[in-house]
Structures are given as structure tokens and as C-alpha cells.
Amino acid sequence: MNVESDFDLLLAYLDDELDDTEVASLTERLQAEPSLAEQLVLLAGEEGKIAEWAAATSRMRPPVDSPPRRRSFGVARLVASLVLSLTAAIGVSAWYAMQENPRKDPIAAEEEPAFDARLVKTTGCTWDEGQADISDGSSLEFGTTLQLIGGIAEIEYASGVRVVIEGPVTFELSSADSGELTVGQLSATVPKKATGFTIQTPTLAVIDRGTQFGLRIDEAGTTEVHVFQGEVETQTREPEEAPKVRKTLTTTQAAKFNDRGRFAGWLEPDYGGFAGAARHAYGVTHTDRAMRWLPKAPPSLEEGELQSGSDIFLFLERRGVVLEQDTEITSYQRRGTQAHFSIEVVTLPAGTQVDSYMLHFDPGASTQSRLGGIRFERPILGIIARADQLRATDDIFGAHGTRYHCKNAATRGLDDGVEGGAEKKSPDVVAYKQDTGLAFALQVHPGTLDQVRILVASEEK
């Protein structure tokens, strides 16, 4: 293995790329050079952070099938081999070769996109006859109509617009700044530079005003527009000569339009129902491996209903809640380390606008400890970790359709390890990390569960 620096050498070692002789030589150096050993530990810690970030980022995308929380190589390899067999015809290397200015370094190449659009990632895709050779990395020309029978495909326009289509769906890449959805559903994430990007449906033009949104069209021609972030404008298309009927939707708004493109009522925004409602739609930028993100609030949080010995579950409960009155919570942000949950009461003032997230750890019949961390896009305002405060705020912040009732309601929150005025066992601990991060060490005993409601500042409208 040819290595040019200690950094390369240590990276190669961690990647298991050194042979026996090279490992022996490195071992000698590590014994003789304390600074090299420190460099190795530091690099290995960073490798762990990257793996944590990659797993969390990958997990944020709602999966087609139930996602393995831990790495399941057997299944992953099977899926990978299937994808590889599909990519044989074109393949990513061929895609690079097709560039006007092919460059071997994909990092350098991305500064000069020479494609109309391309397929970034496909998951479990079955394409219509004639499109079987489409695979990850395929370039797509404007005018191409994609007919996806099943699965999820993510398309990237050269402008940076990302469209995720979910089969069954028919979608045409019309031009650099538009696409056409005939039937099915998609979600689009539009960067600022591409504002004005438009998705045409048979009855509507949905024009981006700097946003992330989802579109769904059923066989009867009814269209749903869900705005996850930002703003979109809808315009009727028919009849062509008639004045357009316009409607504007903003963050967290969703609406239904009839088969003539006319407004037909408001909907609850369906964050969990769109694969492309990417993580920023949820306002969470990072979770570590102990946590499992649920794209949709579960039907029940009662004991035993959402149970795992290894996973701490997290989901968005509600967005944009404006407090009608002063509300008791357990701690404010920037309180440092927190472990006295039974006695803490502070108040969040009326008028505060928050997004609410629920963290839930119920390992069942065994005692389990987990360490975890989470980072949000916007500042954390505080947490609710006391059982009585959780109960009192379920109606205010709780997800619609989720049952929060617990038979042993007193054991819902975090535990400070104090019983009868004396310390009996290890407490749960929460530590604020800057204004957007939270780290925690949870320990759950049989018959109890840990829950924390995390309140994050809503985006200003």
C-alpha cells in the first residue's frame, strides 16, 4: 500500500488496508511515537463521528421497507448486488464517461455539471418496460418521461433541484426549470438559486417560491399540495384563455385541489407520507446511532407499544404551536447538564411558537442504558422531562392520533434517581450542547420508560 503521509497511513490502517508487514511496522512506530498514537485515536474518533452522521443521514430518508437500525450486512449486500446487476448496462462509470468534459475525480467534476438531470439514487425501483437500464447515476435528458411502477427514485436537476418520485408515478423532466407529474406522488426540494421551479400537473401549475413541497395526484385527478418548508403558489391551467386562479401555501400548509384545479379544502401536512420530505423538513440535522427516527408519529406510546432494547425513538409531534398561556417545562436551553427532573419547573411564556418532538425509550422487561445525541436546525427552547408536565402538555404538543396514556403514568418522564428523598439509583442525564444540540444518558428499569418532549423554536413565517 502506497501511503504518502501519516494521515494516509492511519486511514489505511483503520480501513484494514495494510498487510501484516505494514501493520507490524506501524505497531513499532505507535509504540515509539506517542503523538502518532494520539493521532490514531483522534482519527478513529472522527471515523466514528462520520459513520454516525452517515447512518443518521441515510436513516432520515423514510425507507421503502422497514429500516434496519443496526447494520444488517446480509440484507444490505443482497440489495446492493441486485442494484449492481441493474446498473450493469450503463453504470456510474459510464455516466462519468458521458460528460462533455470527463474528469476522473468525481469531486472535481461536480463543480461543472454537464447534464440536464440525473438519477441520484434508486431504492427498490421497478421501471416500466423500456426503462430497465435506468439506474443510479444515469443521466437524464429533458423530455424524458419516467414511468416508475414501484420504488423510490431521486432525481437531481443541474440547477440543484431535487425531485423524489415514488412509484407508481409518471413524471416528465420537461425543462431546466420544470417537470410534469401526471399521476402519483413526488416531493421537491428547490434551492434558492432555482426559485420559480414549476411542477405542472394536468390541472395545476405548482410554482416554487423557495421551498420544499410534496405533490400527490390520484387517478380521479385530485391533487394534494403539501408545503414542508417555504412557500409555493398554485395556478389553475384550464381553460388556457381564462384568468388563472391562484393560491399561496406556506410552511406546514397542505391543501386539496379538485380535478379542475380549484381549491377543495385544507389538509394536515403529511410529513411522513413523502419519501422526499427530507430531514430539513423535520428540522433535525443529526441524530446518533442510538436513535431511530420515525418519519410518522406512532399510533400509541403506551407501555409495550413502541418497544426496543436498543433504539431510542424520536419523532416530530407538532409544528408551529403558539403557546396560549405560560407553560411549565422542566428546563430551558443552555442550562448545561440536567439531572434533577423531579424538582425542576420553569416557564415558557405565552406567545412562544414551538415545534415539538418526542423522544421515547422503552426497552421492556430489561434494564438498559443508552447514550445518545441529537441536533436540530433551530434553537432548542427547552425540554419537558417530568411525568406530570408531559401529561399536562400532551394535548398542546402531542401528535394528532397518537395515544399518550400510560398505565403507570408517573414513570413516563426522566428519572433523577431519587426515591423517598434519597438517591437510590443512577439518574437520567440531559446535557445541552450549544443552543441546538442535546446529549443524554438514559437508564430505564423494568416497568418504566423514558420520555422527553423537546421544544424547538419554530421557523419565523
Interface with another protein in residues 319-348 (CB under 8 A): 337, 339-340
Applying CB under 8 A, the site for another protein has a residue count of 90
The least distance separating another protein from the CB of residue 106, rounded to whole angstroms, comes to 5
- Minimum CB separation of residue 443 from another protein in Å reads 6
Contact 207, 232 (CB under 8 A): yes
Q: Closest approach of Cβ 254 to another protein, in Å?
A: 28
How far is CA 231 from its chain centroid?
20
Q: For another protein, which is the closer residue by CB, 17 or 326? A: 17
* Residue 293 C-beta: closest distance to another protein, Å: 14
Q: Least separation, in Å, of the C-beta of 20 and another protein?
A: 6
Nearest-approach distance from CB 327 to another protein, in angstroms? 25
Among 15, 112, 218, 435, binds another protein (CB under 8 A): 15
- Pick the stretch among 125-133, 239-247, 255-263, 363-371 that binds another protein (CB under 8 A): 363-371
Q: In the bound complex, what is the minimum distance in angstroms from residue 281's beta carbon to another protein? A: 16
Q: Check binding of 106 to another protein (CB under 8 A).
A: yes
Rounded to the nearest 10 degrees, the angle between the axes of helix 6-14 and helix 20-32 is: 120
Per DSSP bridges, beta strands 291-293 and 312-322 are parallel
Distance of CA 88 to the CA centre of its chain: 30
Among 303, 311, 355, 416, indicate the residue that binds another protein (CB under 8 A): 416
**Interacting residues with another protein between 263 and 302 (CB under 8 A):** 285-286, 289
244 near another protein, judged by CB under 8 A:
no
Under rule CB under 8 A, residue 31 binds another protein: yes
Distance, CA of 4 to CA of 349 (rounded, Å): 58
How far apart are alpha carbons 244 and 129 in whole angstroms? 37
Residue list 371-390, contact with another protein (CB under 8 A): 371, 373, 375
Q: Which stretch binds another protein (CB under 8 A): 105-113, 167-175, 182-190, 221-229?
A: 105-113
Count of residues in the chain? 461
CA distances from 379 to 415, 455, 456 (A): 25, 9, 6
Stretch that binds another protein, among 104-112, 178-186, 206-214, 239-247 (CB under 8 A): 104-112
- Cβ–Cβ < 8 Å for 277, 188: no
Q: Contacting another protein (CB under 8 A), which of 147, 198, 272, 443? A: 443
Give the one residue of 57, 131, 144, 353 binding another protein; rule: CB under 8 A: 57
Cα dihedral 390/393/395/397 (nearest 10): -100
Return the residues of window 117-176 that contact another protein according to CB under 8 A.
Answer: 120-121, 136-137, 156, 160
Which is closer to another protein, CB of 60 or CB of 173? 60
Q: What's the min distance (Å) between Cβ of 166 and another protein? A: 20
Residue 253 CB, nearest approach to another protein (Å): 27
Among 83, 176, 294, 396, binds another protein (CB under 8 A): 83
Residue of the chain from 100, 105, 241, 395 that contacts another protein (CB under 8 A) = 105
Torsion over CA: 380, 212, 153, 96 (sign): negative
- Distance between CA 299 and CA 195 in Å, rounded? 37
**Does residue 85 bind another protein (CB under 8 A)?**
no
* Listed ranges 215-223, 246-254, 265-273, 428-436: which one lies at the site for another protein (CB under 8 A): 428-436
Site for another protein in 172-211 (CB under 8 A): none
Contacts of 340 (CB under 8 A, 6+ apart): 416
Please pick, from the candidates 25, 78, 82, 93, the single residue that binds another protein as defined by CB under 8 A.
Answer: 93
Q: Is residue 64 a contact point for another protein (CB under 8 A)?
A: no
